[in-house]
Structure 1
Amino acid sequence: MVSIQSPPGSEPAVSSPSVSPPSKDPLLQPLQIKTLRLRNRIMSTSHASFMDDGGLPLERYQRYHEEKAKGGLALTMFGGSSMVDVDSSWGGGGQLNLATDEIIPHFQNFSRRIHAHGAALMCQISHLGRRADATTLNWLPAVAPSRSRETQHRAFSREMDEHDIRRIVKAYGAAAGRCREGGLDGVETLTGGHLIGQFFSPRTNFRTDRFGGSVENRVRFGLMVHEEIRRRLGDGMILSMRFIIDEADKDGLSFEDCLEIARIFEREGLVDVFNCIFGRMDTVIALAEQNMPGMSQPLAPFLSQVGAFRQHTRLPVFHAARITDIATARYAIREGLLDMVAMTRAHMADPQIVNKLMRGEEERIRPCVGASYCMHKKVNCIHNPASGRETILPQIIETAAKKRRVVVVGGGPAGLEAARVCAERGHDVVLFEAGSQPGGQLLLACRVSSRRDLVGIIDWRVSELERLKVDVRCDTYAETDDVLAENPDVVIVATGGLPDTDWLDGAEHCQSIWDVLSTMAGHSGDVILYDGTGRHEGISTALHLAEHGRSVHLVTIDDSLAQEIEYSTRAVYRKQFKKRDIAVTLDHHLIKVSRDNSNSLTATFRHELTGDLLDMRASQIVVERGTTPLDEVFHDLKEKSSNQGVTDLDALLAGVGQPLRESEAKFELHRIGDAVASRNVHAAIYDALRLCMVL
């Protein structure tokens, strides 16, 4: 059924005419699966991008995947959790609706676009089972093998009867037929926490009929589904199963159980590919640590387990789980652990991965730092704002028609990105940075052990500025005369901010998180940390203090911990707070800090709902409430600029150049990032890209 024509490290079985010899890189070898020839070993797995329009993959959706195809990968999968029937919806949207023929012409256009760039296209088709939301869209009860409740998605399911089983089997087949009519190269089902996997697992299948009990009975529904899909697809199209290899739970499927299930499907000839996943997905912490591991987990945490699974099957094995770098991907293919390496989130950071690899520019690949921002603001990468915005932002910067002299003041994320984009445009760029090295506030964030990978955001841009020969001047606190001496055409102020404590009575008795992360010396005893933002800064600093042996009590103005942070990381933080015994008080804002005669500090808080006052004592009080703009140089330059420092918002949002203004002043002036207002890394970099891409 399946022939793998080019084993890792070997020459391609078939090479197209070329002056250059075939690459020896294992990642660049083709893979033949039935009639489908994949041009290399790098892919992107299906995921819910939340870019659909009413359940249909229209222009934004297609452009997002098309950029990856243009970037050189072999296969892009789409449609994470696409619904095959009307009772498979979840809250908040984001799913494609494969229960209607309306989707077929959009698939046809989609496949033409992807194939035109030499890549293959597959769709995940699934039924959520007990993961469905009974209170959105069609308001239908969730169905499952047995009555149960999933913690994350919260519905109480009803047990499926034989009619439900026949209906949903038929719906899977109809969805597969629509994929075939749409010109796709294959489809993928999903086990794990979705309906097929719910039948597989003794954690969710308590039936005593022919669909429950023994492994042979528990796989019966999945076999019926795959038989119907194969009937509708024919023998030529690829049928993949995103397959759980171990639920990592004493009551769930073991590795040996999953091997037995895999052997049954392989024996019956109903699967062409195993796309392997590990662990559960029915709780947020399981998603964060197993199914979609982020920064808190090591790189490629389940690669060895998937490699062990591959030893037991003749079918190709795909896998995605925090494989973010080319070295790890290459190792996985070269050592025969995988046949295709999925770099899904890595392609959000840089859809040009394969093209850069083929050009010998591996070091220029923008790194995925594992921040999981893409799980919070769907497919928006923390430091590639063009991801998910392909219809309005470029992945590749175009050269400007006219070269200009650009001065960037400030070398944090916003300033580094502004300098990079302007230099890519062909402008003559100088960057002033007051510190001894670029990076700004992000350098402090990297001092927290769990967030050290954020340094990749800085390092990549510094490397790009070196390549582009940007004049970077560190240890230079640029003032008005320094800027004007450069005779600029454009000045971009990206000076960031300073900790915001002016509002607080008794601020002189407190430290900021900058103080804490700069040095741990000089303090001991218990700490109260006030978090007035709900962002990473306060939460991660509390953990940093606890890791250094301090007793920490965090007080937040919000009604939950880490309210502004992506949902998966919130769960990780809650787990770490529990392990570190960090106390948390919610719904309080800080109003005053005072020092008594014993040199102890008292923090006075007011309850957000009742107005009641609460006094708490500690030897150190740390305050986090964002930053206030450090913008003196901006205000000094305003009257000297042609635009009075005004950035035209209509032009900015339209992606066109700023309007020309009649003025004796030569330069236009803009400010970005925290020099405008306290926000986050993504906002700062987004500011820089959309302003500078048209300068």
Structure 2
Amino acid sequence: MEGFEKLFEPIKIGSVEVKNKIAMAPMAILGLVTEKGGFSKRAQDYYVARAKGGTGLIITGAAKVENEIEKLHDGIFPCTTIDPAHFIKTTSEMVEKVHAYDTKIFLQLTIGLGHNAAPQMVVGQPVAPSAIPNYWDPSVTCRELTTEEVERLVKMSAESAAIAKEAGFDGVEIHAIHEGYLLDQFTMAMFNRRTDKYGGDLMERLTLPIEIVKAIKKVNGNDFPVCLRFSIKSYIKDWNQGGLDGEDFVEKGRDTQEGLTIAPILEKAGYDAFDADAGSYEAWYWAHPPIYQKHGLYLPLTEQLKKVVNVPVIVAGKMEIPELAEKTLEEGKAADMIGLGRGLLTDPEWGNKVLEGRSEDVRPCIGCHDGCLGRGFEGKPLSCAVNPACGREEEYGVHPADTVKNVMVIGGGIAGMEAARVSAMRGHKVTLYEKTGELGGHVIEGSVDEFKKDNARLLDWYRTQLKKLDIDVKLNTEVKAEDVKNREADVVIVATGSVPSIPNIPGIDRDNVVTATDVLLKKKPVGQKVVVVGGGLVGCETAISFAMEGKDVTIVEMLPELMGAGMPVPHANKIMVLDMLKFYKVKTVLNTSLQEVKDRAIEVIDKNFKKSTIPADTVVISIGLKPDRKLYSEIAGKVPDTYLIGDANSARNIMYAIWDAYEVARNI
């Protein structure tokens, strides 16, 4: 662990000593919940894997304290009180297993989602402190909770903490004066217009979180730790509008000064630690930072928080780079403990690898949200884009093969590298062929921009793993059909990727027409006036890249909205891209198609068949990718045990490239 001594020092939260300063940040376990509100076998395996991997403190995803006042459909969130015996049964053995690794575990408790609840999750009308619009569907007005209902939420919080203690949990975390959830809504004037004891001035709005901690301490004793999930700043510009870093706007939620004012009050009330971050649903890209956000984005805020509180401050927010985590603890100004959320989804062995001096083996998070948050909102179980075994650790792991085979992988993009990696881990003899001089495929151009550097970290990780597994990599080698037939491979995996789609229109072959791939790789010069044809995720990111360089950029999209087709873009990522486009003054032309490329201009036509001209020094084509199946079509049905994976199968995203490869390779 040389160079990472601070990370592995013990720390106390209240009366509980934690073996190191690595905490698993709380994340909802959507899809891993039983119908009675307990933890499924998958959920239990998921948490135990992180304990085994060296995490000092696990903070679970939120468990509801009751499910009647704000009734969610069964199986969405755990709930302590639907059937307390069932809840204890499904958590107590998990807690015992976690403790076997000398890891502590806190149960996160929530009184509800409030105006943030997606209507499809809720049975009946959403609730809130006051009659305010629902975030997801502003046409729906939330029902104001009665005083008696709020008092019951306090009572059920204490009862739930007692159940947690009986199950063996070492403490609880209250969810949350954080992210604009129901408890947070009570503390903010924007959402709380009540006239009873739970509304009014700032101190009166703090009545509910203060009552909750005092009720828990009364039931469980002062030695039972109660942590608070705490957003220092909300970043709310207005209803359903968030604010970017560096953007000048008036905070409508909680500003930094208010956050620093209430923290000491809440500490005095009895909270034993602050699990601190920033953001709200209006600015979800703060609470759930995508690839575009900086690593350690909360540190400037938590540095101020630590000056006003005396209890430990836990900070997450893209802190999974070991050197950043250690440096933060060494400086001692912004955190006492490091929270890892998605970093522990991608690599449950994060702690052990850093302790063993193998930081280069830590699999990086790329901030895509495709496998975690995005899947949850599609009604699918929690997992991870770059770690397909996440959330199904025991049933979907990698095991040695019964028979060693010669595996031929054709294509060195993400899918090909994952297929080679997993095949080699299972003991197979693997040869990987790549026709270019570099591994990485389309992710190479997808990692050029500074705000996409996490993709470059993933590529570095793959290249390191292939080298450590001693995989025979043959670069600058294009494989033909006869090569496959003549080689004595037991298994052939075709991962030849995809190529850009090019529209068949007049002028498309002009010198000022380029693909997004070419311009991102700096293969062709770009003029001052840039038109990006195609408003999918790649087109929008490309437009932002040029706008950040000071160019005049316009996106032309045939659909009525940006990022409206293809693979769904997770919400946090999508709203940040849209806000970045506005911030960098990218113009958008919707419901409009490219008709012709002319000299220094393009001609377009809208849905009403009206034609117009847009000036363009450079025209960037970004209308998607199409699978390159040429080789596969020549050998399919002729070479046994041949598989088609990744973009060559269907051009989608990094997650499905990895998942296809993992599924095939783990079963060879």
Q: Answer whether TM exceeds 0.5 for this pair.
A: yes
Aligned mate of 1:222, from 193, 209, 228: 209
Residues 50, 95 of structure 1: 8 Å contact kept: yes
Aligned partners of 1:303, 1:464: CA distance in 2, in Å? 31
How big is the shift at 1:690? Answer: 1.1
For this pair of structures, how many residues does the alignment match?
A: 633
Determine if the alignment matches structure 1 residue 65 to structure 2 residue 38.
no
Residues 384, 390 of structure 2: 8 Å contact kept: yes
Aligned partners of 2:3, 2:581: CA distance in 1, in Å? 49
Matches within 5 A, 1:635-654: 635-642=633-640
Residues 85, 168 of structure 1: 8 Å contact kept: no
Structure 2 residue aligned with 1:26: 6
Aligned mate of 2:648, from 661, 675, 679: 675
How big is the shift at 1:613? Answer: 6.2
Residues 89, 132 of structure 1: 8 Å contact kept: no
Aligned mate of 1:165, from 150, 172, 194: 150
TM-score scaled by structure 2? Answer: 0.86
Aligned mate of 1:49, from 5, 29, 32: 29
Aligned partners of 1:35, 1:453: CA distance in 2, in Å? 38
Three-state SS of the structure 2 residue aligned to 1:436 is: coil
- The answer for unaligned runs of 5 or more in structure 2 is 236-249, 377-381
Write out per-residue CA displacement over residues 492-540 of structure 1, whole angstroms, 9 at most, x where no aligned residue.
1111121123776775455432233233645536444332xx6422221
Determine if the alignment matches structure 1 residue 463 to structure 2 residue 443.
no
Aligned partners of 1:276, 1:406: CA distance in 2, in Å? 48
Aligned partners of 1:198, 1:25: CA distance in 2, in Å? 39
Aligned mate of 1:335, from 331, 337, 360: 331
Residues 526, 618 of structure 1: 8 Å contact kept: yes
Aligned mate of 1:98, from 77, 80, 89: 80
Structure 1 window deviating more from structure 2 (494-503 vs 616-625): it is: 616-625
Aligned partners of 1:295, 1:365: CA distance in 2, in Å? 17
Residues 129, 143 of structure 1: 8 Å contact kept: yes
Write out per-residue CA displacement over residues 623-645 of structure 1, whole angstroms, 9 at most, x where no aligned residue.
33332222333233335422xxx
Aligned mate of 2:352, from 351, 355, 362: 355
Query: Of the two structures, which has the highest relative contact order with CA contacts closer than 8 Å and spacing of 6 or more?
Result: 2
Aligned partners of 1:587, 1:538: CA distance in 2, in Å? 15
Three-state SS of the structure 2 residue aligned to 1:376 is: helix
Residues 407, 491 of structure 2: 8 Å contact kept: yes
Three-state SS of the structure 2 residue aligned to 1:377 is: helix
Aligned mate of 1:366, from 356, 363, 368: 363
Matches within 5 A, 1:309-328: 309-328=305-324
Residues 432, 477 of structure 1: 8 Å contact kept: yes
TM-score scaled by structure 1? Answer: 0.83
Structure 1 residue aligned with 2:177: 191
Distance 1:554 1:22, change over 3 A: closer
Structure 1 residue aligned with 2:584: 580
Residues 277, 291 of structure 1: 8 Å contact kept: yes
Distance 1:625 1:392, change over 3 A: farther
How big is the shift at 1:185? Answer: 1.8
Q: Which residue identity does 1:74 align to in structure 2? A: G
Residues 87, 141 of structure 1: 8 Å contact kept: no
Matches within 5 A, 1:38-437: 38-51=18-31, 52-54=33-35, 55-80=37-62, 82=64, 84-88=66-70, 94-101=76-83, 102-127=86-111, 128-132=113-117, 136-144=121-129, 146-149=130-133, 151-152=135-136, 154=138, 155-189=140-174, 190-192=176-178, 193-207=180-194, 209-247=196-234, 250-268=251-269, 270-278=270-278, 280-283=279-282, 286-288=283-285, 290-336=286-332, 337-373=334-370, 374-378=372-376, 379-394=382-397, 397-437=398-438
Residues 47, 81 of structure 1: 8 Å contact kept: no
Structure 2 residue aligned with 1:13: none
How big is the shift at 1:227? Answer: 1.7
Structure 1 window deviating more from structure 2 (457-466 vs 300-309): it is: 300-309
Three-state SS of the structure 2 residue aligned to 1:293 is: coil
Structure 1 window deviating more from structure 2 (670-679 vs 475-484): it is: 475-484
Structure 1 residue aligned with 2:543: 542
Aligned mate of 2:574, from 562, 566, 570: 570
Three-state SS of the structure 1 residue aligned to 2:329 is: helix
Aligned partners of 1:133, 1:487: CA distance in 2, in Å? 54
Three-state SS of the structure 2 residue aligned to 1:576 is: helix
Distance 1:126 1:688, change over 3 A: same
Aligned partners of 2:632, 2:45: CA distance in 1, in Å? 37
Q: Specify the structure having the higher radius of gyration (Cα).
A: 1
Aligned partners of 2:63, 2:581: CA distance in 1, in Å? 32
Residues 518, 524 of structure 2: 8 Å contact kept: no
How big is the shift at 1:685? Answer: 0.8
Aligned partners of 1:204, 1:630: CA distance in 2, in Å? 52
Q: Which residue identity does 1:28 align to in structure 2? A: F
How big is the shift at 1:343? Answer: 0.8
